[in-house]
Amino acid sequence: MERLQKVLAQAGVASRRSSEELIKQGRVKVNGAIVTELGTKVDPASDIILVDNKSIAQEKHVYLLVNKPTGVITSMHDPQGRKTVRDLVKSINERVYPVGRLDYDTSGLLLMTNDGDLANRLAHPSYEIDKVYRAWVKGIPSKASVNLLATGIELEDGMTSPGEAEILFIDKAHNRAQIQLTIHEGRNRQVRRMCEAIGHPVVTLERIRVGFLTLDEVRSGGFRHLKPQEVKHLKKVLK
């Protein structure tokens, strides 16, 4: 027997947290009865589970590494008709969804999966998974400003956790610099807000690494399946 929200997540319906919302909203039925209580135990092998009156399918787990371009929404649907990450993985039959998000104007590494357990752990700051970004910023930050990025900056939603920061390249001719930041959180527009806080707004921003995973050999707008050994290592890191 498994908790209902875990079964939904494992079936690729939604993340564990989103599955809990589906249950609270009365959109889930088990053996014909609406279930709204979180923690309800079910047997996925024998119970008939419906979401919005559609049967869930126990899909095989899929793990994708996507190189998101700018101008793409990190969502499976956009009411405004803009391009979404779903458009980047149209050839995948399983119902995968993004782990975390990248802003419309941010490019780079995005993981997509239908493994709800793994997605939850990847997104949770307690596991302190490195997220590495490269940004071109206006102006040339001082050593003290770069140190602030690494040690923590007070934003409107609280102090950022310690990470790493360094200047990679200084372009005096265009009064700009390229910096690399490593953070472990996933707040909304966090890197951009951190750079604005030190007086050096972001011009371009790319996420180049998550944990040990990089964008090697994945073109902009493309994706690849994680290798079995990568999935195994990821699960080991997130135990």
CATH number of the domain enclosing 121:
3.30.70.580
Asked whether residue 29 falls in the same domain as residue 101, the answer is no
pLDDT, residue 59, reads 67
Asked whether residue 134 falls in the same domain as residue 76, the answer is no
Asked whether residue 35 falls in the same domain as residue 100, the answer is no
CATH classification of the domain holding 19 = 3.10.290.10
Q: What is the pTM of this model?
A: 0.78
The 10s digit of each residue's pLDDT in 49-90 is: 999 988 886 667 899 999 999 999 998 888 899 999 999 999
Look up tokens 């752990």; give the residue: 121
Asked whether residue 134 falls in the same domain as residue 206, the answer is yes
Asked whether residue 117 falls in the same domain as residue 231, the answer is yes
Asked whether residue 154 falls in the same domain as residue 195, the answer is yes
Closest by CA to 205, choosing from 109, 99, 97, is 109
CATH classification of the domain holding 193 = 3.30.70.1560
Please report, rounded to a whole number, the percentage of residues in the chain having pLDDT higher than 70: 99
Q: Are 37 and 74 in contact (CB under 8 A)?
A: no
Instruction: Please give the residue range of the domain that contains residue 113.
Output: 63-125+217-237
In this prediction, residue 29 has a pLDDT band, given cuts at 50, 70 and 90, of very high
The 10s digit of each residue's pLDDT in 209-226 is: 999 999 998 999 999 999
Asked whether residue 47 falls in the same domain as residue 152, the answer is no
Asked whether residue 91 falls in the same domain as residue 200, the answer is no
Asked whether residue 109 falls in the same domain as residue 160, the answer is no
Asked whether residue 120 falls in the same domain as residue 223, the answer is yes
Task: Give the count of domains, the chain.
Answer: 3
Closest by CA to 66, choosing from 233, 232, 210, is 210
Asked whether residue 160 falls in the same domain as residue 44, the answer is no
Residue among 103, 105, 117, 130 flagged as catalytic:
103
Of the CA atoms within 13 Å of residue 97, those in its CB half-sphere come to 23
Rounded average pLDDT over 127-148: 95
103 as an active site residue: the answer is: yes
Contacts 24+ apart (CB under 8 A), 185-188: 185/125, 185/160, 185/161, 186/100, 186/101, 186/123, 186/125, 186/131, 187/155, 187/157, 187/160
